[in-house]
Structure 1
Amino acid sequence: MNNSRRNFIRSASTLMAGAGLVSALPGSLQAFPLKMVAPSDRLNVAAIGINGMGWADLTSLMKVPGVQCVALCDVDKNVLDKRVAELAQKGIKVKAYSDYRRLLEDKDIDAVVIGTPDHWHCLQMTDACSAGKDVYVEKPMGNSIIECRSMVAAQKKYGRIVQVGQWQRSQQHFRDAIDFVHSGKLGQIRLVKAWAYMGWMNSVPVKPDGPAPAGVDYKSWLGPATMRPFNENRFHFTFRWFWDYAGGLMTDWGVHLLDYALLGMKSTAPKSVMAAGGKFAYPKDASETPDTLTTVYEFDGYNIQWEQAVGISGGNYGRDHGIAFIGNNGTLVLDRGGWEVIPEDNRMAAVPRQKSVDNGLDMHTINFANAIKTRDFSSLHAPVEVGALVAVTSQMGNIAYRTGKKVYWNQEAGKFTDNDANKYLAAQYNNGYKLPIIK
């Protein structure tokens, strides 16, 4: 862990050259000559929650020279055995854990990837920091406003490198687009739209409760969530559509897209939030979170508007997702494929579509690994403050929806002016678990 930044960056260049991706790296990474990784320059990583994005994050991180996976953890033995076997086929032998706390006791592990459902992020991230591990935690960083505060406090108290999975922060065309927004060429920006129209998402059919599948430690999967009978709809991918564990599309896609709306406007907390929507597409299916929602965040001099719709692909500007900065001179439209500027009359020149040229997730994990090696906290593209701001903003939108009110935020007090809204500030912890309070 005491190796130089230069050795690590040389190793990163070795990997990307072998993959034919050197041209996608920032110039600072391309500048160093190629070099093999010495054993002393290795970074031992583990992953907790390896069914979906946790596995994608780990796979990306393992591309970085010097990074080696030494352990996996999942409460679903079927998933755990599958991933262990996949790594074994590549000649990688790892330890397997069903209890993340035992994994965190392993002194051989330098950093962990947390890819569990949202309701577990806070406990596992704060425990990992306390155990002296650096952390890559999936988005949304926390599942409640108070959890986000605890996570920020834990990072500061224990001094660990923590990267939040807002990987668009590392993608070059997103960064270029925000530079253009900040240039002032769009003129006064009075409205920013962010949206996700998920035409590929289907209804979640109602299914009966039943026994958990063999090999699944369902009690551990629930953790601090409300004790309920096992239901397939609440497990694996579709947990996102139930309030016990997550916040629906708002905290799934919203945190990615609202993140750039906030960054472009250099926003902090909104003054007020109002939201309207419901289960309009599939009113009788099993999901709890709204499939259709419009949310308006009020700031001084401008609004940010969030839109989501399941079962529809025709979003704003012909894109199923994106962010639009609407200025007096023109509108910049940004999505994962690129960005362009549409002029308002003849007030400015159009900018043709600037396409994406790199892999945002790979750039994000390189950034994380480099920060670990250098211990340069300022180099992180998505530190806890970034993850907390957008997670809290998204949760504010859900709170406005769930209360059915326009809610006002008191920044100094750190709460709403409405008691009904304040009931949602903290996630409810059950089954003997307690919300981490970091002092």
Structure 2
Amino acid sequence: MDRKKFITSTALLAASAMSWGAFARSISANSIRVGAIGIHGMGWSNLQAILKDNRVQCTALCDVDKDVLAKRVDELKARNITVKTYSDYKELLQDPNIDAVIIGTPDHWHCLQMVDAVRAGKHVYVEKPIGNSIAECEVMVATAQSHRAIVQVGQWQRSQQHFKDAIDFVHSGKLGKIRQVKAWSYVGWKTPITKKPDTVAPVNVDYDKWLGPAQKRPFNPNRFHFEFRWFWDYAGGLMTDWGVHMLDYALLGMQVSDPVSVMAAGGKFAAPDGASETPDTLTAVYEFEDFNIQWEHAIGISGGPYNRDHGVAFIGNNGTLVLNRGGWEVIPEGDRMAAVTLQKSVDDGLDKHMVNFVDAILQQRPELLNAPIEAGAHIAIFAQLGNIAYRTGKKLYWDKNKHQFTDKRANRYLAAQYHNGYKMPK
């Protein structure tokens, strides 16, 4: 079964009558109790967004950094919100006064925490990318399905109206035959990180819990908080950070799933002696039967294609549709079609994404989700294909039926290595 059929079949399964098992507790139509795990960055943004919905209350927070935890507790107190606090997420999951959790930890923790949360009877909002390896993504999908959990992935653009409108236009056929799709992220505001010496972890940080299943290493500020995303132990660089957003829409627009092949080239061109492991400059090409999807990114440069620092462009014989978070427009190819002036964004995608999540929980209908776990897994896997092509330096052919490469060396990257006594869930 190919992934497109797999996603279709699981959507039908979710739409059928379900035995909720661990989710049998009756949830009040006006109250969902939420706990947040990892509240330094996007985890906190996600919590702020969901609390705009008056059907939600926050009852607990968890973080391995006591300073961050104390700061968030004070911020909630200022809003007359009192919460329990935890340093161990497993203790939070045992709390019976929590119906759903938000997971905003580094990528290498997503799989364990989502699986444990679902097994504990919680619904889940998990940040993207959902996993740090292809095998993790597949385990997460299987777990969510077997427990009939409602799991929303942080691909919040799927809830934003102008993205839907742009894809509808692509599907209209007005662009003509689309032969090339480009997706990109140029992060001009960020400079490559410079090397820093190892040191001791901050006194209020439980560093062992932060590492979790990642390889044991001395504490280094370059690998902590926001900067973790530039190291393979924890994440996949810009490819899995921004790529999952833009490439998601490339696939939605073209209505495809698995590529025939993928190849990638890049490196640390901006800072050869910098501290990061992931490439600061990268181009990946995904081959399909009669078109290509191209990904490119660069750190320290803002001038991306079509004078946009991020976006996706559908290049057709009649014209090109350019889409990003600011809006979309159509640039005609000569006089083959009429131009479409910039259609600006008119709503807040993250806020709408949270409303969608809450609606699905209260109605016990996972088919309502705009970014279900199957969709999050698919695009995370797709981005991982590009990273693996870069790391092997080869053009790789993907066997969609076996969910692996035809190259044995490349298949070594399919599963993340777990350390420190942790094991990947089955």
Which of the five TM-score ranges fits, normalised by the shorter chain? Answer: over 0.9
- Do the aligned residues in 1 keep the contact of 2:29 with 2:362 (CA within 8 Å)? no
Question: Given the alignment, which residue of 108, 113, 119 partners 1:124?
Answer: 113
SS in 2 for 1:41: coil
SS in 1 for 2:145: helix
Using the TM superposition, name which of 39-48 and 417-426 deviates more: 39-48
Q: Counterparts of 2:135 and 2:155 in 1: how far apart (Å)?
A: 20
Q: CA RMSD in A?
A: 1.0
The one-letter code of the counterpart of 1:291 is D
Residue 47 of structure 2 corresponds to residue 58 of structure 1: yes
Q: Counterparts of 2:163 and 2:212 in 1: how far apart (Å)?
A: 36
Question: Given the alignment, which residue of 347, 354, 363 partners 1:365?
Answer: 354
- Do the aligned residues in 1 keep the contact of 2:135 with 2:414 (CA within 8 Å)? yes
The one-letter code of the counterpart of 2:262 is V
1:26 — aligned with what? Answer: none
Percent identity between the two aligned chains: 68
Superposed counterparts of 1:207-222, under 5 Å: 207-222=196-211
Superposed counterparts of 1:237-386, under 5 Å: 237-386=226-375
Q: Counterparts of 1:433 and 1:267 in 2: how far apart (Å)?
A: 35
Q: Counterparts of 1:413 and 1:332 in 2: how far apart (Å)?
A: 34
The one-letter code of the counterpart of 1:314 is G
Deviations 1:128-183 (A, max 9, x none): 00011000000001110000000000110111100000000001000100000011
Shift, 1:214, TM fit:
1.0
Q: Counterparts of 1:348 and 1:312 in 2: how far apart (Å)?
A: 32
Q: Counterparts of 2:281 and 2:366 in 1: how far apart (Å)?
A: 38
- Do the aligned residues in 1 keep the contact of 2:192 with 2:280 (CA within 8 Å)? no
Deviations 1:280-323 (A, max 9, x none): 00111111100000000011111100000111111100111100
Q: Counterparts of 1:381 and 1:373 in 2: how far apart (Å)?
A: 15
2:16 — aligned with what? Answer: none
- Calculate the TM-score normalised by the size of structure 1: 0.90
2:10 — aligned with what? Answer: none
The one-letter code of the counterpart of 1:317 is Y
Q: Counterparts of 2:118 and 2:85 in 1: how far apart (Å)?
A: 21
The one-letter code of the counterpart of 1:274 is M
Q: Counterparts of 1:346 and 1:302 in 2: how far apart (Å)?
A: 23
Change (3 A) 1:174 1:40: closer
Shift, 1:40, TM fit:
6.2
Q: Counterparts of 2:308 and 2:70 in 1: how far apart (Å)?
A: 39
Q: Counterparts of 1:234 and 1:130 in 2: how far apart (Å)?
A: 30
Question: Given the alignment, which residue of 178, 181, 195 partners 2:184?
Answer: 195
Q: Counterparts of 2:387 and 2:242 in 1: how far apart (Å)?
A: 13
Shift, 1:378, TM fit:
1.2
Q: How many correspondences in the alignment? A: 400
The one-letter code of the counterpart of 1:243 is W
Question: Given the alignment, which residue of 64, 69, 72 partners 1:80?
Answer: 69
- Do the aligned residues in 1 keep the contact of 2:186 with 2:303 (CA within 8 Å)? yes
SS in 1 for 2:109: helix
- Do the aligned residues in 1 keep the contact of 2:65 with 2:204 (CA within 8 Å)? yes
1:153 — aligned with what? Answer: 142
1:25 — aligned with what? Answer: none
Question: Given the alignment, which residue of 135, 155, 170 partners 2:124?
Answer: 135
SS in 1 for 2:314: strand
Q: Counterparts of 1:39 and 1:229 in 2: how far apart (Å)?
A: 46
Q: Counterparts of 1:361 and 1:427 in 2: how far apart (Å)?
A: 29
SS in 2 for 1:132: coil
Superposed counterparts of 1:20-99, under 5 Å: 41-99=30-88
SS in 1 for 2:269: coil
Gaps of 5+ in 2: 1-26
- Do the aligned residues in 1 keep the contact of 2:178 with 2:315 (CA within 8 Å)? yes
Shift, 1:203, TM fit:
2.2
Q: Counterparts of 1:109 and 1:376 in 2: how far apart (Å)?
A: 19
The one-letter code of the counterpart of 1:54 is G
1:167 — aligned with what? Answer: 156
The one-letter code of the counterpart of 2:60 is A
Question: Given the alignment, which residue of 403, 411, 436 partners 2:425?
Answer: 436
The one-letter code of the counterpart of 1:338 is G
1:419 — aligned with what? Answer: 408
Q: Counterparts of 1:312 and 1:286 in 2: how far apart (Å)?
A: 18
Gaps of 5+ in 1: 1-37
Q: Counterparts of 2:202 and 2:245 in 1: how far apart (Å)?
A: 32
Shift, 1:255, TM fit:
0.5
Q: Counterparts of 2:366 and 2:101 in 1: how far apart (Å)?
A: 17
Q: Counterparts of 2:76 and 2:188 in 1: how far apart (Å)?
A: 34
2:174 — aligned with what? Answer: 185
SS in 1 for 2:197: coil
